[in-house]
């Protein structure tokens, strides 16, 4: 059981607790950052630029980050990255205390970019360090518990809490985030691991070794590309999701936080049930079900005018997403050699996450382009409907090209 793993493994307990704190802070920012942007401007493209800035570092820094992760103490790297993120979150808090004029959007985008840059190092290192903390047979349990806790704190608790806190002041969520990150860094610093021999080759040679492994594993590369397309789609919809909640559904910050909490419940369900579902139905069928779940959920959101329906659809999308994550993360943690895990994992995430800033820009741009001809409501619905069609194509590709058995 997952609770038994936490009870018997001190290092995993510390990593788990640190992740819970950082993700609770991230959950506050999930709602507070785009909400702050909407206080500065109602321009969908500029709001999309803020969302894109937070994800752009995955496109620029994911691959070199992997080389760094394989050459340094991953525990210290995680702690230092969290401390850096705390400083940046504090800076966003100071910005939020200033007047909310349109010129501040670009400074907000710059700070979001810096926050995302530190996150690239932190998240890649945390995923890479896990096989050094838990046994191979416990990876599904460990990943499931980490993903479920991430969603519980980051989506179920964080966003509705942010909705309440925004009423007290838009700066408050960012200040709390900074405090949580400092505490998390202290917990990670307490992790004790046996020192490992790091690669002594040059930076370029080490990078080429990771690229060569990725190019030589066709299935791993296909999974990365599918994830990249899926995340492009997801971020395009996420960028306009706050506008959908405000302009189409007329939701308050607190009500929108509850919608996001429904998504988090779906993610928690998918994470915790993933080990059982894969044993019962096999990882192949579960992988296909994940992609189908995305398409059904996006299409439903694009057609609805009810907050409750949107919440249910997001529940299904996130349950499917977490099922995909537990399957594919555990699979590649076993497949990639330990000495290459940081580099190859980062290259994988370059494909998988590097598309996210492009998706964020595409979502905002699509609304801006369609708004004059179709009206604002239909323009905001369009990214969700296109996402549903795109996922149908992804499912067809997965059936023919993604065989994990």
- pLDDT tens across the length of the chain (405 residues): 456 888 888 999 999 999 999 999 998 998 889 889 888 888 877 877 887 788 788 778 888 888 888 888 889 999 999 999 999 999 999 999 886 777 788 899 999 999 999 998 998 888 888 888 988 888 888 888 887 888 788 777 887 788 889 888 899 999 999 999 999 999 999 998 876 555 556 778 888 888 899 889 999 999 999 999 999 999 899 888 888 888 888 887 778 878 877 887 898 899 888 888 988 998 999 999 999 999 999 999 999 888 889 999 999 999 999 999 989 988 888 888 888 888 888 888 888 877 887 887 888 889 888 988 888 889 999 999 999 999 999 999 999 999 886
Total length of the chain: 405
DSSP code of 135?
-
H-assigned helices in 304-355: 307-335, 341-354
Q: What pLDDT digit, counting tens, does each position of 13-22 carry?
A: 999 999 999 9
Q: Where are the domains of the chain?
A: 2-191+200-401
CA distances from 323 to 191, 216, 396 (A): 28, 26, 18
Helix crossing, 218-243 with 203-216: angle to 10°?
Answer: 100
In this predicted model, what pLDDT tens digit does every residue of 316-371 receive, in sequence order? 999 999 999 989 988 888 888 888 888 888 888 888 877 887 887 888 889 888 98
User: In sequence order, what are the residues at sequence separation of 6 or more whose Cβ sits closer than 8 angstroms to the Cβ of residue 232?
Assistant: 355, 356, 358, 359, 362
Domain spanning 2-191+200-401 has what CATH number?
Answer: 1.20.1250.20
pTM here is 0.75
The owner of tokens 């296109």 is 386
C-alpha distance across the termini of the chain, in Å: 25
Q: What is the pLDDT of residues 172-214, one digit of tens each?
A: 999 999 999 999 999 999 998 876 555 556 778 888 888 899 8
Cβ burial 379-391 (10 Å sphere, 16+ → b, else e): bbbbbbbbbbebb
Query: What burial class does residue 168 get, using C-beta atoms within 10 Å of its C-beta: 0-12 exposed, 13-18 middle, 19+ buried?
Result: exposed
């Amino acid at each position: 059981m997952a609770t038994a793993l936490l009870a018997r493994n001190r290092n995993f307990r510390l990593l788990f607790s640190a992740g819970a704190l950082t993700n609770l802070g991230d959950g506050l920012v999930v709602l507070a950052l785009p909400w702050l942007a909407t206080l500065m401007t109602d321009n969908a493209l500029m709001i999309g630029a803020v969302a894109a800035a937070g994800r752009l570092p995955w496109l620029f820094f994911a691959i070199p980050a992997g080389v760094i992760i394989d050459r340094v103490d991953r525990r210290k790297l995680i702690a230092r990255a969290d401390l850096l993120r705390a400083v940046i979150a504090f800076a966003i808090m100071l910005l939020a205390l200033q007047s909310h004029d349109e010129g501040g959007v670009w400074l907000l985008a710059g700070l979001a970019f810096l926050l995302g840059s530190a996150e690239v190092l932190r998240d890649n290192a945390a995923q890479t360090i896990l096989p050094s903390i838990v046994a191979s047979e416990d990876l599904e349990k460990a990943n499931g518990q980490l993903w479920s806790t991430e969603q519980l704190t980051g989506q179920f608790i964080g966003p509705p809490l942010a909705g309440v806190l925004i009423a007290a002041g838009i700066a408050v969520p960012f200040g709390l985030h900074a405090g949580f990150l400092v505490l998390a860094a202290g917990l990670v610093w307490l992790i004790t691991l046996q020192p490992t021999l790091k690669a002594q080759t040059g930076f370029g040679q080490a990078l080429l070794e990771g690229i060569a492994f990725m190019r030589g594993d066709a299935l791993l590369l296909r999974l990365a590309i599918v994830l990249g397309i899926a995340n492009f789609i997801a971020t395009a919809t996420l960028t306009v999701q706050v506008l959908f909640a405000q302009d189409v559904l007329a939701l308050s910050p607190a009500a929108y936080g509850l919608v996001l909490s429904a998504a988090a419940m779906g993610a928690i369900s998918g994470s915790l049930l993933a080990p059982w579902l894969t044993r019962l139905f096999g990882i192949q069928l579960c992988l296909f079900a994940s992609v189908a779940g995305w398409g059904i959920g996006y299409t439903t959101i694009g057609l609805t005018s009810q907050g409750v329906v949107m919440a249910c659809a997001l529940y299904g999308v996130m349950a499917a997403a977490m099922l995909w994550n537990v399957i594919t993360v555990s699979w590649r943690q076993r497949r990639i050699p330990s000495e290459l895990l940081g580099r190859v994992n980062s290259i994988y995430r370059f494909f998988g996450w590097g598309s996210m800033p492009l998706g964020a820009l595409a979502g905002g741009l699509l609304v801006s382009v369609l708004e004059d001809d179709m009206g604002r409501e239909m323009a905001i619905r369009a990214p969700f409907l296109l996402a549903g069609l795109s996922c149908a194509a992804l499912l067809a590709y997965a059936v023919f090209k993604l065989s994990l058995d």
